[in-house]
Amino acid sequence: MRSRVRYREDVYICKRGASVPYLDDNGYPTGESIVTYGEIVKYSLLVALVDSDAEITLYGAEAKDMRKISESIEVIDDTDIGYLDLVWISKVPAAYVEGITPTVPPTPLDNNYIVSEKPRITPRQITIILKSVIDNA
């Protein structure tokens, strides 16, 4: 069990919310929409590379830019994270430090990963696949 504790990292997760209409300077909808986000929450989770033969076969060349979180459902459950939520690994989000909730960000957020598919849930474990949204090289 000690080896599993060693691989824990601080992970910040921001849930994707609903899309709201974008309003122009006069308050009229422009036909575009903005995605809203919830509060940024800090977790200590098991983060690993996507490196098994089956995963490399499934994701191909993109596997080098991906990470996975495999955690028990006592630590994180399916309501804590979902498809297209924002994730920060090895990085503290600026909005978290400043204590603001990025409900409608005026600029792109500084996250370095995004949840790339619906989390896989088994009776005791949840597996979340993350895709890099920046060049981590």
| Mean pLDDT in residue range 72-83 | 81
Band the pLDDT of 137: cuts 50, 70, 90. very low
Dump pLDDT digits (tens) for 88-134. Answer: 998 888 877 776 666 655 556 778 898 989 988 888 888 999 998 87
Q: Tell me how far apart the alpha carbons of residues 92 and 7 are, in angstroms, rounded to a whole number.
A: 18
Burial 57-76 (b: 16+ CB within 10 A, else e): eebeeebebbbbbebeeeeb
Name the H helices within 1-137: 2-6, 53-59, 94-98
Bridge partners (DSSP) of residue 19 are 35
Domains and their CATH numbers in the chain: 2-132 (2.40.10.270)
